[in-house]
A and B are shown apart, each in its own frame.
Chain A
């Protein structure tokens, strides 16, 4: 909260100086969940936005950036349209950034088209969202990005002949499981069971679902749950039921081990293999710097995760267009065009915005959870899948084909 008031204070100060300064202040509308059960997701991205601005403010020269932050509201997207309309009509922002929940992004898409304002997605992962408006640019990921390579990797390198898929019963879970299954079966594996594991709201007791899978003895168990409380529950249950001892390997996308949860997980997580675009432990100068700055700003118990990394890259993209278009962001179409094909080296490594789909292209890595020399849990990169595109759109599956 202190961070928010500090930014609010500095934002108000910017606004004041705008009256006297010559330079442009670019208003960016930030739409993230700041309250409710999913506030932790918004929190990670919000911190990333603030951190990037703090570190790179001088890159804008005389120009300044002002973040107008609004609460995205509940995961159902019921408030999204109201909030976004107000940002456009009342606050007159030039860009929209954020969007953790897919329904919120879906609801806001027609507004972006109508107002011709670029919508920069820092999280929402439903694959076909980018098709909803030509003004949408996504910096984060599609559910298919980690899930599809995981399917291939599990069949070819992890020795899984059979697999079960468990997922939270809502569109991101369905998407992720479908992506995994498509790739896994293409590579010769067989998915023997698909278990829907409760609604996205309250964390269910995972035991019955996991017990059922344990009794079926697949080689691998692919799990997708929303990052946060659900991920913690999954790891505890996996450990408690002794699935590893039963010879079942737990695999999944990065949502299973967001870094701030990994730090709290027990040793049951060791040996888990995920496909992820980001982990704190990545040994690149840019990432090491990023993690160091994060701890400096937010304390030793706060860890950046894949959402924070996506947030940094989104803000980097915003800075890029501000500079490239000399802070004239009035033409939304020009902003989007400027971002097409944009390449950037960030905490996740090299990313690119696909000119055809306006979706992100990034490296995905197969990682294994290990115990580091300092006793904490970390990850070791097993293999890198360079510059992965969203396979849903490549293969034109379902709504991705439109």
Chain B
């Protein structure tokens, strides 16, 4: 009798495990529709050859927004200081070129990712013990202090006028950069693709599920013994690393990096992009960043206060409409994914 019971239990377990694995595998599969944003990006390359610099900056912002989505959308941590890691990555890439004399672009990205991930890890250890207004003010303050420190060590960072002449070597030793920014665009697109695949893998892994669990019900996560703080710190470090890559791309394509990379405007802008596109479903970064940049470019041509008013109004409208949380919308989307 006991043997029967235990074998039926274990067979139930086995069936359940198989079903769970199947569900995860199905969710993790790439769907045809996911190719859309990339097709759109490549189409833009051919359709708007004169706006490739705007395109590159948009791709960089998408990556920056993606990095924020990991801790904001998936783990539910609200921060006002994500620009800190963008800036650290930017300066890491810049100093590699000017102080070390190493101008190969891809290693510049790797270096920036490592430096900002370390910065994210160390700061996350301390900061992630806090939430709410406290965390908002802490993240905001530490980013401002970083900027002030940068100004204090202006011999190192160039101060507010920054470090100019960040000329990277041709990509793979062959592809050089023209005025129109074609190579920059494709370079940014490739980096974004790789980073996105990494993010997607993380998000659909058990680790990613744990983050969602922390966001939805942290008490229960503690109760089931999940190492909440460590999970968050690791996620924060990865997020910082990705933000650092975005910053490095910015330094390399802008050929100038200034202390302005730490501006509150940057942190606020990326937060706005995420809410516009929807946080917690990865593609929100694409939609939000593209929408923000296009609006900024077009509305500002009419008149700059018009743009500011427009984005403010859009924010208010979006928040009112998704009041119960973009997460609720995500839940609906999740249900439709088989």
Residue A111 CB within 8 A of the other chain: yes
Give chain A nearest CB distance to B281 CB in angstroms: 28
Q: List 22 A-B contacts (CB under 8 A).
A: A1-B305, A4-B303, A35-B300, A35-B307, A70-B301, A74-B260, A76-B261, A82-B54, A85-B181, A86-B50, A86-B54, A88-B179, A89-B50, A89-B51, A103-B260, A106-B161, A106-B162, A106-B256, A107-B164, A114-B179, A170-B159, A171-B159
Q: Are A76 and B50 in contact (CB under 8 A)?
A: no
Does A171 lie within 8 Å of B260, measured CB to CB?
no
Complex contact A103–B53 (CB within 8 A): no
Max count, chain B CB within 10 A of own CB: residue among A5, A76, A114 = A76
Task: Give a binary string over A17-50; 1 marks a CB under 8 Å from any B CB, 0 the rest.
Answer: 0000000000000000011000100000000000
User: Shortest Cβ distance from B232 into chain A, in angstroms?
Assistant: 30
B258 touches A103 (CB 8 A): yes
Q: Are B50 and A90 in contact (CB under 8 A)?
A: yes
The contact size tier of chain A is 35 or more
Sample of 16 more A-B contacts, CB < 8 Å, known A103-B256, A111-B179, A171-B159:
A34-B300, A34-B303, A35-B305, A39-B304, A78-B254, A81-B255, A82-B54, A85-B53, A85-B179, A85-B180, A89-B180, A90-B50, A106-B164, A106-B256, A132-B164, A170-B159
Tell me the smallest distance from the CB of A144 to a CB of chain B, in Å. Answer: 15
Assess whether B308 is interfacial by the CB under 8 Å rule: yes
Bound complex: CA A70 to CA B261 (Å): 21
Q: Tell me if B305 and A171 are in contact (CB < 8 A).
A: no
**Beta-carbon contact of A78 and B261 below 8 Å:** yes
Q: Mark B193-218, 1 if CB is under 8 A from A, else 0.
A: 00000000000000000000000000
What are the 10 A-B residue pairs with the smallest beta carbon separation, nearest first?
A76-B260, A35-B304, A85-B53, A90-B50, A34-B304, A170-B160, A107-B256, A171-B161, A89-B50, A76-B258
A174 vs chain B, min Cβ distance (A): 8
Which residues of B245-299 are within 8 A (CB) of A?
250, 254-256, 258-261, 263, 265
Contact of B300 among A71, A89, A111 (CB under 8 A): A71
Given B57, B159, B260, which contacts A82 in the complex, CB threshold below 8 Å?
B57
Q: Are A81 and B53 touching (Cβ within 8 A)? A: yes
* Structural contact, A81 and B159, CB atoms closer than 8 A: no
**A76 close to B160 (CB less than 8 A):** yes
Q: Which residues of B contact A111 (CB under 8 A)?
A: 179
Does A346 count as interface, using CB distance less than 8 angstroms? no
Instruction: Say how far A133's CB is from chain B's closest CB, in angstroms.
Output: 11
* With known contacts A132-B164, A171-B161, A75–B301 Cβ distance under 8 A: no
A126 part of interface (Cβ distance < 8 Å)? yes
B142 contacts A by Cβ under 8 Å? no
Give the contacting residue for B255; candidates A5, A74, A110, A199; CB below 8 A.
A110
Task: From known contacts A71-B304, A90-B51, infer whether A171 and B256 are also in contact, taking CB-CB under 8 Å.
Answer: no
Given A76-B261, A106-B256, CB of A171 within 8 Å of CB of B160:
yes
Indicate if A397 sits at the interface (CB-CB under 8 A).
no
Complex Cα spacing A86 to B160, Å: 24
Contact residues in A for B307 (Cβ distance below 8 Å): 35
A140 within 8 A of B: no
**Once the chains bind, are A81 and B256 in contact (CB under 8 Å)?**
yes
Q: Can you name the residue of chain A whose Cβ is closest to the Cβ of B181?
A: A85
Q: Find chain B residues with CB under 8 A from A77 CB.
A: 162, 256, 258, 260
Q: Which residue of B is nearest A33, CB measured?
A: B304
Asked if B161 and A126 make an inter-chain contact with CB atoms under 8 angstroms apart, the answer reads yes
Assess whether B160 is in contact with A200, with CB atoms less than 8 Å apart.
yes
| Residue B148 interfacial (CB < 8 Å) | yes
Chain B residues whose CB sits within 8 angstroms of the CB of A74 once the complex forms: 260, 263, 265
Chain B residues with CB below 8 A from A81, complex form: 53, 254-256
Mask of A375-398 contacts with B, CB within 8 angstroms, 1/0 = 000000000000000000000000
How long is the Cα–Cα vector from A74 to B260 in the complex, in angstroms? 8
B319 → A minimal CB distance (Å): 22
A89 CA to B178 CA, complexed, in Å:
11
Residue B123, interface by CB 8 Å: no
Does A185 lie at the interface of the complex (its beta carbon under 8 Å from any beta carbon of B)? no
Least Cβ distance of B304 to chain A in Å? 3
A39 CA to B303 CA, complexed, in Å: 12
Type the 1/0 row for A65-79, where 1 means its CB is closer than 8 Å to any CB of B: 000001100111110
Contact pick for A86, options B53, B254, B265, CB 8 Å: B53
Binary interface encoding of chain A residues 285-314 relative to chain B, with 1 for a CB under 8 A from any of its CBs, else 0: 000000000000000000000000000000
Residues of B within 8 A of A70 (CB): 300-301
Across the interface, name the chain B residue whose C-beta is closest to A129: B161
**Which residues of A sit under 8 angstroms from B300, Cβ to Cβ?**
34-35, 70-71
Q: Which residue of A lies closest to B250 (CB)?
A: A78
Q: Does A357 have its Cβ within 8 Å of any Cβ on chain B?
A: no
What is the CA–CA distance of A310 and B255 in the complex, to the nearest angstrom? 28
Please give, as numbers and ranges, the residues of chain A lying within 8 Å of B263 by CB-CB distance.
74, 76
In the bound complex, CA of A227 to CA of B6 (Å): 82
**B47-92 residues at the A interface, CB under 8 angstroms:** 50-54, 57
Least Cβ–Cβ distance between A329 and chain B, in angstroms: 18
A151 to chain B, nearest CB (A): 22
CB neighbours of B57 from chain A (8 A):
82
Inter-chain contacts of A34 with B (CB < 8 A) = 300, 303-304
Closest to B178 in A: A114
A152-202 contacts to B, CB under 8 A, are: 169-171, 174, 199-200
Question: Is there a chain B Cβ closer than 8 Å to A102's Cβ?
Answer: yes
Q: Which residue of A has the minimal Cβ distance to B307?
A: A35
A174 CA to B151 CA in the complex, in Å?
12
Is B151 in contact with A170, judged by CB distance below 8 angstroms?
Answer: yes
Q: Give the Cβ gap from B12 to chain A, nearest Cβ, in Å.
A: 58
Bound CA span A199–B258, Å: 14
A88 to B54, CA, bound (A): 13
Residue A241 interfacial (CB < 8 Å): no
Expressed in whole angstroms, the Cα–Cα distance for A110 and B307 within the complex equals 29
Report how far A23 CA is from B265 CA in the complex, Å. Answer: 44
Q: Which residues of A contact B258 (CB under 8 A)?
A: 76-78, 103
- The answer to the question of A115 belonging to the interface, with a C-beta cut-off of 8 Å to chain B, is yes
The residue from A39, A78, A82, A109 contacting B53, defined by CB atoms under 8 A apart: A82
When distances are taken between beta carbons in the complex, the residues of chain B under 8 Å from A76 are: 160, 162, 258-261, 263
In contact, A89 and B161 (Cβ under 8 angstroms)? no
